[in-house]
């Protein structure tokens, strides 16, 4: 299976954060396919460790009007991961 490389750039999920003294501190909105969803509340926040790589990440479960999302923010500063929370 090959990937279509002509995928529009703005389809990657993005998260906007409140930036306090420690940088990207609290998710404020999630943008998916050009649609911005305000984070209504943070259901859960915790520090977790990737068992394979040993990398530490901040994990947020965020409720929006349309869905609940899992946001993983690596301490390394790499791009965060966003996925639908199906728990």
Task: Confirm whether pTM is higher than 0.75.
Answer: yes
pLDDT in tens, 28-58: 999 988 899 999 999 999 999 989 999 999 9
- How far is it, in rounded angstroms, from Cα 18 to Cα 67? 20
pLDDT in tens, 2-38: 444 444 455 788 898 887 766 668 899 999 888 999 9
Beta bridge partners of 73: 58
Q: Where are the domains of the chain?
A: 10-84
- How far is it, in rounded angstroms, from Cα 12 to Cα 79? 11
SS3 79: coil
Q: Which residues contact 70 (CB under 8 A, 6 or more apart)?
A: 59, 60, 61, 62, 81, 82, 83, 84, 85
């Amino acid at each position: 299976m090959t990937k279509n490389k002509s995928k529009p750039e703005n389809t990657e999920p993005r998260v906007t954060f409140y930036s306090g003294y420690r940088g990207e501190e609290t998710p404020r909105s999630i943008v998916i396919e050009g649609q911005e969803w305000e984070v209504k509340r943070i259901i859960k926040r915790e520090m977790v460790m990737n068992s394979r790589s040993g990398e530490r990440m901040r994990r947020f479960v965020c409720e929006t009007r349309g869905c609940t999302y899992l946001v993983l923010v690596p301490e390394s500063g790499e791009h965060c991961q966003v996925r639908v929370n199906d728990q």
